[in-house]
Amino acid sequence: MRFIVRLATNMLSFLVLSMIFTSGFRVDNWVSALFAAFVLSILNAIIKPILTVLTLPLTIITFGFFAIVVNAFLLEITADVVGGFEFTSFGWAMLIAFILSIINTILTNDLHVQVERN
């Protein structure tokens, strides 16, 4: 259930951010946003732990801010894989990664999704 909530949150965030930042970030439709959210979740599960370990010294030196660069890199990979989802520059990917991390932090902490098992 938590995966579906995060997937929907990322999809809606992509759609809203593409409407706000029209000059640097483009999402064609909700299907592209959903596919991008799905691809990003797979990249976060597989590649992000490896990149986090490899970039740990830089992340420590920059007090955690280098994690935004890692997230932006994963967004750029997502944009390469998904058609209809693109950034005009790496700077835009960093801005969207920063905003997306804030949105996910706020919503994930406030929407404690609990699934009861019988």
In a domain, 20, yes or no: yes
Q: By residue range, what is the domain housing residue 17?
A: 1-102
* pLDDT for residue 33: 96
Is residue 113 scored above 60 in pLDDT?
no
In a domain, 75, yes or no: yes
Task: Collapse the DSSP code of 27 into the 3-class scheme (helix H, G, I; strand E, B; otherwise coil) and give the result.
Answer: strand
Confidence of residue 3 (pLDDT cuts 50, 70, 90): confident
pLDDT tens, residue by residue, 13-67: 999 999 999 999 999 999 999 999 999 999 999 999 999 999 999 999 999 999 9
Domains in the chain: how many in total?
A: 1
In a domain, 93, yes or no: yes
* pLDDT for residue 111: 53
